[in-house]
Amino acid sequence: MMWVTNPASYCTYLNRLWYEFTGQSEGEALGLGWAKATHPDDGQRAKDAFLSANAAQEPFRIEYRLRRADGTYRWTIDAANPFFGEDGAFLGHVGSVIDIHERREAEEALRASEARFQAIANSVDQLIWSARPDGYHDYYNDRWYDYTGTAPGSTDGEAWNDVFHPEDRERAWAVWRGSLETGEPYRIEYRLRHCSGHYRWVLGRAQPVRDTEGRITRWFGSCTDIEEIVEAREVLTRSRAELTREVEARTEALMAAEAALRQSQKMEAVGQLTGGLAHDFNNLLTAITGSLELLTARLAEGRLNNVDRYVGAAQDAARRAAALTHRLLAFSRQQTLAPQPTNVDRLIAGMVELVQRTVGPGISVETIATPDLWNTLVDRSQLENALLNLCLNARDAMSQGGKLTIETTNCWLDDQAARLRDLPPGPYVLLSVSDNGTGMSPDVVARAFDPFFTTKPIGQGTGLGLSMIYGFVRQSNGQVRIHSKVGQGTTMRLYLPRHAGEAQDAEAAPERTLSAPRAAPDETVLVVDDEPTVRMLVVELLEDLGYTALEAADGPSGLQVLRSETRIDLLVTDVGLPGGMNGRQVAEAARTLRPGLKVLFITGYAESAVLSHCHLDPGMHVMTKPFTIMALAERIKTLVPG
Ligand code: ADP
Ligand code: MG
């Protein structure tokens, strides 16, 4: 639309388009009538702008709403320039009017959406930003500037470096570059400099925005402060680690305390044991030395009648001393187990008298034997020891007197019965020792087998009886079970596996005199022992038996004899020897020199470890000290039968 005015601000021309657009007639529009077609709110402003431009003879430009012929208003832009005559006189304005309604509306909508976005972006707690597809940051919300304390505009572009924690920079940039390359969302935790000057942990995320063709047009990102979450997370891991350390430290302390307690309990028991043993030994030694003194006196006087009494007394005391050390060895478990096929009834029969004497007259002892009782393979002295201990416990439980029953039976354990007793199914010899004493509470039953567990006052109980019995029975492939009721009594049951072989009747009292058949005179035995008395005794015994005896005080000199041409039928050697070789090594060297040579080891408790845990080769045998000369003679005779 075009128009022309004169210097007096009078509209002199409007083109056809104006009349078509506004529906005005020429009469209405000319002069200042055109202004009637503007919106009531815009008319005055448009008129004023025009009149002042006319007065100043200047160009002008104004936007206003213009009424169309159909009554609706459209935004238009009206721009005009003054024009002058040849003489420079002001002639008026020439202007054009363009319909810009659609553009205005679009701009309006954009502004509204921008305002809405700003309102949202500034109302959330997160820091929000956007970036161009090339990664250039071009927008931050107000929270960003508040949080980082930076001035608007200062963190545009790559100025991020300053707000990243120096240690996180490289990592954060790498992730950001990665996202820009792949278009994958960006997600990373890093420290951001807070306006307080401290760094705080934030979770940074960004998402690409794509156009309809899938091209990334921008990135929208946010940072969420997670300082408190990170702190809580750290506290949690730290306290977990601390807790673990604490538990470990306490467990360690507890275990140390327990070990110390066990050790002190053991020391107490050992003290009691050695104290008691020293006392017993002194008694026995007094009996032995006393008998020998009397014997010497009688021999000096030539009064030989009745001297057997002294010999017998000395032997008896020595035997009891041997039994004592045996118990001590059983306790320290360094004894070599010597299982033998055994008839338990016969073993019991040999002990009843001792048991009756030990438990005293207030307790009646009954034994119930089984005809044709099966044999079992056990170490006899240990079984005796176990039986004695069970009887002593029974006695202690019946301080007012009562009845002690020792009973045996053959029994078959079927699958279920065996499983209950933690044994393989099969035939067992069952040995039960019952009393009608105090009985045990379930609590005591549960702990009765524990080493050092005792309910008896110090000096009376060591708590070792049942633990030794348990060890022995388990070593013998058997089981022991307690059946007890408080106030009614206790039955201890020992299950020992049946042994198919014949029982050797070694329980018969040993002969008191040497009535051994003589050996063939050239049969030779080499004795290696560093203890001269033992060596002398053995050599004398051998000579009495008719053997030729050779002796050596240590391994190397023993080997010298073995290397010679001399006939040797048997090597008898101590296990602990001076001179750099123990008995086992001597025996092995001897076997290399003379394959198949028979060997008999004689061992004390400390040396038995050298032999235990390893199988002895055929032809090698062991005797544990102390032993009687008779027993040694028997043994040698079985090895070199003459
Ligand atoms: P100690 O006899 O030295 O106490 P034991 O190992 O022989 O040690 O026994 C452990 C504990 O088991 C005893 O202190 C006692 O409380 C209990 N006990 C063992 N046998 C019997 C029994 N026949 N009657 C009652 N209690 C028993
Ligand atoms: Mg006991």
Least confident of 74-88, 124-138, 273-287: 273-287
Would you say residue 323 has pLDDT above 80? Answer: no
Nearest C-alpha neighbor of 512 from the set 641, 347, 633: 633
In contact, 561 and 568? CB cutoff 8 Å: yes
- Return the DSSP state at 581: -
Show Cβ contacts of residue 607 under 8 Å, excluding neighbours closer than 6 positions: 574, 575, 576, 582, 583
Least confident of 73-87, 140-154, 283-297, 432-446: 283-297
pLDDT of residue 506: 46
pLDDT of residue 490: 97
Confidence label for 618 from pLDDT (cuts 50, 70 and 90)? confident
Task: State whether the beta carbon of 433 lies less than 6 angstroms from ligand 1.
Answer: no
The CATH homologous superfamily for domain 2-105 is: PAS domain (3.30.450.20)
Nearest atom within ligand 1 for CA of residue 394: 23
Would you say residue 294 has pLDDT above 50? Answer: yes
Task: State whether the beta carbon of 465 lies less than 6 angstroms from ligand 1.
Answer: yes
Query: Nearest residue CA, atom 25 of ligand 1?
Result: 439
Task: State whether the beta carbon of 337 lies less than 6 angstroms from ligand 1.
Answer: no
Instruction: Give DSSP secondary structure letters for 9-36.
Output: S-EEEE-HHHHHHH---HHHHTBTGGGG
Task: State whether the beta carbon of 453 lies less than 6 angstroms from ligand 1.
Answer: yes
pTM of the model: 0.39
Q: What percent of the chain has pLDDT over 90?
A: 48
Least confident of 41-45, 224-228, 471-475: 471-475
pLDDT of residue 515: 47
For the domain spanning 122-225, the CATH number is 3.30.450.20
Task: State whether the beta carbon of 461 lies less than 6 angstroms from ligand 1.
Answer: yes
pLDDT of residue 513: 44
Q: What's the CA angle centered on 604, arms 599 and 605, to 5 degrees?
A: 125
Task: State whether the beta carbon of 490 lies less than 6 angstroms from ligand 1.
Answer: yes
Task: State whether the beta carbon of 466 lies less than 6 angstroms from ligand 1.
Answer: yes
Show Cβ contacts of residue 300 under 8 Å, excluding neighbours closer than 6 positions: none
Nearest atom within ligand 1 for CA of residue 460: 3
Tens digits of per-residue pLDDT, 10-40?
Answer: 999 999 999 999 999 988 889 888 889 999 9
User: In terms of CATH architecture, what is 524-639?
Assistant: 3-Layer(aba) Sandwich (3.40)
pLDDT of residue 227: 92
Question: Alpha helices, DSSP H only, in 164-226?
Answer: 169-182
Report the C-alpha gap between 582 and 529 in whole angstroms.
10
Nearest C-alpha neighbor of 498 from the set 372, 311, 321: 372
- Return the DSSP state at 606: G
User: In terms of CATH architecture, what is 339-499?
Assistant: 2-Layer Sandwich (3.30)
Would you say residue 78 has pLDDT above 70? Answer: yes
Ligand (nearest to CA of 394): 1
Report the C-alpha gap between 407 and 482 in whole angstroms.
15
Ligand (nearest to CA of 397): 1
Mean pLDDT, the chain, whole residue set = 85
In contact, 203 and 223? CB cutoff 8 Å: yes
Would you say residue 126 has pLDDT above 80? Answer: yes
Crossing angle for the helix pair 307-332 and 380-397, to the nearest 10 degrees: 90
Pocket test for ligand 1, best of 454, 464, 480 (most atoms within 8 A of CB): 454
Crossing angle for the helix pair 629-639 and 532-545, to the nearest 10 degrees: 60
Report the C-alpha gap between 220 and 186 in whole angstroms.
10
Report the C-alpha gap between 332 and 259 in whole angstroms.
18
Would you say residue 458 has pLDDT above 80? Answer: no
Pick the more confident residue, 276 or 379: 379
Would you say residue 41 has pLDDT above 90? Answer: yes
Instruction: Give DSSP secondary structure letters for 484-526.
Output: EETTTEEEEEEEEEEE-SPPP-TTSPPPSS--PPPPPTT-EEE
Confidence label for 168 from pLDDT (cuts 50, 70 and 90)? very high
Segment 444-457 mean pLDDT: 87
Peptide bond into 626 cis (omega under 30): yes
Query: Nearest residue CA, atom 21 of ligand 1?
Result: 393
In contact, 406 and 369? CB cutoff 8 Å: no
